């Protein structure tokens, strides 16, 4: 779930990626990840809700007002455009070099210990595990 300050911190993280400055300390999830998750969830809710209205109209014996169907269809179309844009933006997040480490973690569920120490300083459990991994000399995943 989004937290207070996520919009500002998301701006700072993206700015630091572009300018190569030091980014603010982060927790387990980056602020832009939390904002993206809520945007995707809201868009999917709109798509499901309006899709149910559109399906209801096609059921035998049921009728809804044309204006309700019209606006449900418009919102459904708009939601589809938003979900396409969000998917493209989600995939574009791997363009910056620092985010490429996350591509592997999408499939493995693990991140590199050095990456966790560098980018997720406020993630207490992850930092503890990353330090253990590096101390044992394994180095790769936590």
Structure tokens at 42: 């809201």
Indicate yes or no: pTM above 0.85: no
Q: Contact at 8 Å (CB) between 139 and 114?
A: yes
Rounded Cα distance between 27 and 71, Å, is 40
Task: Average the pLDDT over 110-126 and give the result.
Answer: 78
Task: Average the pLDDT over 102-118 and give the result.
Answer: 80
**What's the pLDDT at 140?**
53
Would the pLDDT of 67 be above 60?
A: yes
């Amino acid at each position: 779930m989004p937290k207070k300050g996520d919009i500002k911190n998301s701006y700072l993280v993206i700015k630091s990626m572009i300018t190569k400055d030091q980014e603010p300390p982060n927790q387990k999830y980056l602020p832009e990840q939390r904002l993206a998750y809520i945007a995707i969830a809201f868009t999917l809710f709109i798509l499901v809700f309006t899709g149910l209205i559109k399906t209801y109209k096609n059921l035998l014996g049921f009728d809804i007002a044309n204006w309700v169907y019209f606006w449900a269809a418009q919102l459904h179309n708009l939601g589809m455009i938003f979900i396409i844009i969000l998917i493209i933006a989600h995939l574009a997040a791997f363009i910056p070099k620092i985010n490429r480490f996350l591509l592997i973690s999408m499939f493995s569920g693990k991140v590199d210990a050095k990456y966790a120490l560098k980018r997720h300083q406020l993630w207490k459990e992850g930092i503890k595990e990353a330090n253990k991994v590096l101390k044992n000399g394994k180095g790769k995943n936590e």
